[in-house]
Structure 1
């Protein structure tokens, strides 16, 4: 019997996959536990519609990430910080990924999740720094951060 998997089933199939399985297994386990449905023409067309919708959403998200990358790559997009500096030239405190994300929103109205910023350690020195950001699985960008001394 052909079924469409509604969720992943170990050693059988993944969500959205159409597969031939034994009748008893399909009726007594998969369909009964709502892990699969019969592969009728209506269900197959529903599946195709869902897959098309998911593909469109994924393409939109990718396009948004590319647009955000272009905005971040602009020469005008430099996040400015003014911090207190100690006598040794190091910051009193540090600039974290959360602060960078907040300043991006405040200065440029660009929303970037702090978890997407790949800052290995907080910035503790003055000067121009580049912070990598993974905006999407296929899109990465560099955010320029300028830390200056507060007068």
Structure 2
């Protein structure tokens, strides 16, 4: 089955890539989840629009990625969340909340889909969050989760 990716899928490719996958994988997972669209001549024209949007959002080159990495590594990010006894949170901290906290702390704008959490953040404390800025550059920065008063 020939499909066009609309979002980045680990191990397959980036938005706008035209790939060949097994029928079941495409029909039962990629298409219903919105990760891809069925390939057609008309849909192939949409690839240019998808790639243009991706280029505007992506970090341009290795130099810019290293510059953003330097900004992130010098940043102290603090998140406040409601918690119960023992520091256990009501819910968990999402990548979107981390991106907002980075922006509030004076850091660069990040794509929430590029954040890599080792495990879900469900308790108060200090965590190390990684963000993949470029295929060759990964930045790591501390996030401190505190209980709301």
TM-score by length of 1: 0.56
Residue 106 of structure 1, CA deviation: 2.2
CA distance, structure 1, for counterparts of residue 126 and residue 86 of structure 2: 18
Residue equivalent to 2:66: 66
Partner secondary structure for residue 88 of structure 1: helix
Residue correspondences, number: 93
Residue 60 of structure 1, CA deviation: 4.9
Question: Gaps spanning 5+ residues in structure 2: where?
Answer: 1-58
Across the aligned residues of Structure 1 and Structure 2, the Cα RMSD in angstroms comes to: 2.2
Residue 127 of structure 1, CA deviation: 0.9
CA distance, structure 2, for counterparts of residue 101 and residue 142 of structure 1: 13
Residue 119 of structure 1, CA deviation: 1.6
Greater C-alpha Rg? 1
Partner secondary structure for residue 103 of structure 1: helix
Deviation >6 Å, runs of 4+: none
Deviation digits for residues 48-88 of structure 1 (CA, Å, limit 9, x no counterpart)? xxxxxxxxxxx9521111001011111xx111111111123
1:101 has 2:99 as partner: yes
Residue 124 of structure 1, CA deviation: 0.7
Question: Gaps spanning 5+ residues in structure 1: where?
Answer: 1-58
